[in-house]
Structure 1
Amino acid sequence: MIMRSGQQLLLPASPVFIWFTLIAALLLDMLPLGRIPWMPEFLALVLVFWSVHQPLKVGIGIAFMFGLAIDVHQTSLLGQHAFSYTMLSFFAAMIQRRLLWFTVPLQALQVLPLFAAAHGVEIILRLLGGGVFPGWIVLAAPLLEALLWPVASVLLLVPQLRTPDRDENRPL
């Protein structure tokens, strides 16, 4: 893939680091804070990030597995988060090549509809299963996830950054 000018070359992502961040986001989502409808889903954010940056290592199957884990933890309709995370991972992998050409703040605007659609699917499935509408405050969750995208980009790409070793004979 051709890189933008000025974009830094990254080291390969360690599978151990990828799994550590996914499990840390899962544990962060499992904090016993109660049902807060506007709370962003950190696992969804990390899944989308790795689906964009490492689509061969984090895909639909991993998203489905973590979605089932969230469904069991929240005692929600089984498959609600699994379907939502699978959809997120699929569409993130679809827009992956185009998304990486944008700057990080513009990437946040590009992933905002993905997060909004995922929350919309979760609400529709909850309502079809006989649940209650959580209120319009639930619209804040995708906005917060999009606002956290630049923070996640910086934090999750730090281990992959090369040291700026300038050499006149080696341009990379």
Structure 2
Amino acid sequence: MIMRPGQQQLLLPVSPFFMWSSLIVALLLDMVPLGRGAWTPDVLALVIVFWSVHQPARVGIGAAFFFGLCMDVHQSAMLGQHALSYTTLSFLAIMVHRRLLWHSVISQALQVLPLFALSHLIELVIRMIGGGVFPGWTLLIAPALEGLLWPLVSVILLAPQRRTPDPDANRPL
């Protein structure tokens, strides 16, 4: 088996329960009534991109669409605003997932930054077409914060897969 550069250990298979519960926790974090500003990072978009890159067969465009509709209903946004943004984000993440996994986490963060910027641009355009108010230039901070959070999210969401299996003398891996 060919190992990715810089990867020291093989990852265990991801638990579907952990994967879907992390998506639901991210949805709930985005639903916390803290007065969501234009500069706040979208945690759900970050987790959707992460799982679309690491598990594209399990978390795909359909899941992104469903969570986008949930966010649209919660924020009383134009129906489909977040759904279109998240599905575009998931589609692009699935398109680049093979290439992205060969790079270090810092390099991955730089490569997903344009995806997050495009996602916020889609939301802004749909909001403006619907007659919404321009949120201000602080909107440019959100994709940068999401890019900065990528390494942290990678460490947290890959932690259960990095645990060591039961040592066995007959099984060196």
Give TM-score, length-normalised by structure 1.
0.94
Q: What percentage of residue pairs aligned between the two structures are identical? A: 69
Q: Counterpart of 2:156 in 1: which secondary structure? A: helix
Q: Which residue of 2 aligns with 1:11?
A: 12
What pairs with 1:32-43 in structure 2 (closer than 5 Å)? 32-43=33-44
Shift of 1:170: 5.5
Contact 2:11–2:161 (8 Å) recurs in 1: yes
In structure 1, give the amino acid aligned to 2:4: R
Q: Counterpart of 1:141 in 2: which secondary structure? A: helix
What pairs with 1:128-147 in structure 2 (closer than 5 Å)? 128-147=129-148
Distance in 2 (alpha carbons) for counterparts of 1:95 and 1:143: 19
Q: Counterpart of 1:73 in 2: which secondary structure? A: helix
Q: How many residues align?
A: 172
Alignment deviations for residues 57-106 of structure 1 (CA, whole Å, 9 cap, x no partner): 10000000000000000000100000000000000000000000110011
Q: Which residue of 2 aligns with 1:78?
A: 79
Shift of 1:34: 1.6
What pairs with 1:80-95 in structure 2 (closer than 5 Å)? 80-95=81-96
Shift of 1:163: 1.7
Q: Which residue of 1 aligns with 2:50?
A: 49
Give TM-score, length-normalised by structure 2.
0.94
Q: Which residue of 1 aligns with 2:119?
A: 118
Shift of 1:33: 1.2
Q: Which residue of 2 aligns with 1:155?
A: 156
Distance in 1 (alpha carbons) for counterparts of 2:53 and 2:36: 29
Contact 1:9–1:162 (8 Å) recurs in 2: no
Runs of 4+ in 1 over 4 A off after TM superposition: 164-171
Contact 1:84–1:119 (8 Å) recurs in 2: yes
Unaligned runs of 5+ in 1: none
Computed over aligned residues only, the root mean square deviation of the Cα atoms, in angstroms, reads 1.8
Shift of 1:134: 0.4
Q: Counterpart of 2:64 in 1: which secondary structure? A: helix
Unaligned runs of 5+ in 2: none
In structure 2, give the amino acid aligned to 1:119: H
Distance in 1 (alpha carbons) for counterparts of 2:21 and 2:81: 24
In structure 2, give the amino acid aligned to 1:53: H
Contact 2:39–2:138 (8 Å) recurs in 1: yes
